[in-house]
Amino acid sequence: MEVNKSIFRENDIRGIYPEQLNEFTISKIAKAIAVKCKKENIESISVGRDGRLSGESLLSSFCDSLIDSGINVTNIGMVTSPMLYFEAKTNKTKSGIIITGSHNPKNHNGLKMVVNDRPVSGIEILSLIESMESKSTSKGELKTKDIKEKYLEEVINSISIKNPSNYKVVIDCGNGAAGCVAPDLFKRVGCEVVELFTEVDGNFPNHHPDPSKLENLQDLIDSVISNEADLGLAFDGDGDRVGLITNTGENIFPDKYMMMLSENILSKQSGAIVFDVKCSNHLAELITKNHGVPLMAPTGHFHIKRTIKENNALLGGEMSGHIFFNDKWYGFDDGPYSGARIIEALSEHKENKNISDIMKTYPKSFSTPELNINVTDENKFQIIEKFIAENELEGEKNTIDGLRVNYKNGWGLLRASNTSPKLVLRFEGNTIEDMNNIQSEFLSELSRISPNIVINLT
């Protein structure tokens, strides 16, 4: 069998099980990770998995291969990606791997990797696989570890919600791995909790665990309204993203609730805040107004984490709902922790408003959600390169990640997804007409430059 090169992405490794990613493939990946560990004098690594049906078998093969390659393995079992990141931040070698398909379809799986306190690119692992020669003459050892209580204890010590019993929160785990920790977290910080789909089930029988899509939030919206809750929080399949529903049932895009979080953090200390290319111009303006330093980065946890670390930024965020707190937390993306920090910021708001009223105080613009066009992993980057080279769009152009064009009345973005065979688009305007005009201009140019693409926005 040969390893499918298309599963190795800029940020991580992802593929369809068992056609692209299987027990053989993951064994080869483990050997490559072992090579990297040995180069960096890392003798042991922690590993875990999310709630996917293929996770247990893949984790077993992965552990066996690491041990055969001379690496000591600590198996922390089924956890969220943030719990694995927490383990990697607090263990001796600052290294950890989680087997996770994140928000992708249930027959997908993959790996997110941290070695020596740095995120590891899937592309780097592919290069190691292709250059591997030596074999280990000694075997590593395997041990197991339950990190849940340690993680919860640190989260609870980090969070300070004023009068937490005043807040009723509905949490929707979508039957993803967040169900193993989020209910306990919110109960233990003192909130009243209404649970939705907190039983971990890799079949995802209720709705897909992706809070960036409105159709996956309807159960949460209905529950918030029927329970007269103060807010609703939705988590993705591996628990590293959060979606926010207000007390009135409105879905708030992450760049907008980042405004509240930025304002809250910058009122206590000065510093930089990182956001990805899909975020609103209003976020950067608010950060500057509150004496912070706005830093735009390419989309992807690899890039956000690197930019946070390079600039010792206080906070980072992506439009997909990955939020990274680095003020009094560890700087990794954590959905449940971020949800608790949203409630903390709400409880500290000087005017004691509900979250719906707070959101209305921020600049109003009109924007699309993240839009997708289906292409292939093999051609998506070539399409973007051609679009950047041949487009005739007028405006201020930024090419750090695809093409973002800023206008006086809004902006548009076209980039390639790092995690799936899709083009990603987002548009914002001062009015609905502005937004629609910018979107129309981008799509017209895309049709002209790449006429073979079927533009069916999802």
Q: Which pLDDT does position 92 carry in this prediction?
A: 97
Give the number of other CB atoms < 10 A from CB of residue 381.
15
Q: Which pLDDT does position 301 carry in this prediction?
A: 84
pLDDT band at 2 (very low <50, low <70, confident <90, very high): confident
pLDDT band at 377 (very low <50, low <70, confident <90, very high): confident
Do the beta carbons of residue 455 and residue 373 sit within 8 Å?
yes
* pLDDT, the chain, mean: 96
Q: Which pLDDT does position 364 carry in this prediction?
A: 87
Q: Which pLDDT does position 418 carry in this prediction?
A: 82
3-state secondary structure of 370: coil
Per annotation, catalytic residue among 95, 102, 121, 450: 102
Q: Which pLDDT does position 420 carry in this prediction?
A: 81
- Does the 253-333 domain belong in CATH 3.40.120.10? yes
β-strand partners of 403: 414
**Within this chain, domains 5-145 and 366-449 share the same CATH topology:** no
For the sheet with 192-196, list strands across it: 192-196, 168-172, 231-235, 242-246, 251-252
The answer, yes or no, to whether residue 335 has pLDDT greater than 90, is yes
β-strand partners of 43: none
Alpha-carbon distance 440 to 90, whole Å?
Answer: 49
Length of the chain measured in residues: 458
Q: Which pLDDT does position 273 carry in this prediction?
A: 98
Share of the chain above pLDDT 70, in %: 99
Residue ranges of alpha helices (H) inside 280-431 are 281-289, 301-311, 335-347, 355-360, 380-390
CATH architecture of 5-145: 3-Layer(aba) Sandwich (3.40)
pLDDT band at 350 (very low <50, low <70, confident <90, very high): confident
pLDDT band at 130 (very low <50, low <70, confident <90, very high): confident
Comparison of pLDDT for 136 and 406, the residue scoring more: 406
- Does the 366-449 domain belong in CATH 3.30.310.50? yes
Q: Mean of the pLDDT values across residues 21-48?
A: 97
CATH fold for the domain made of 165-250 = Alpha-D-Glucose-1,6-Bisphosphate; Chain A, domain 3 (3.40.120)
Q: Which helix (H) or strand (E) holds 429?
A: strand 422-429
Domain extent listing, the chain: 5-145, 165-250, 253-333, 366-449
Q: Mean of the pLDDT values across residues 268-297?
A: 97
Relative to beta strand 142-144, strand 272-276 is unpaired
Q: Which pLDDT does position 1 carry in this prediction?
A: 73
Alpha-carbon distance 249 to 232, whole Å?
Answer: 8
pLDDT band at 134 (very low <50, low <70, confident <90, very high): low
Q: Which pLDDT does position 424 carry in this prediction?
A: 96
Active site residue 102: yes
Q: Mean of the pLDDT values across residues 431-453?
A: 97
The angle, 0 to 180 degrees and rounded to 10, between the axes of the packed helices 55-68 and 23-39 is 40
Any idea of the CA torsion for 228, 230, 234, 239, to the nearest 10 degrees? -140
Give residue-wise pLDDT tens across range 199-218: 999 999 999 999 989 999 99
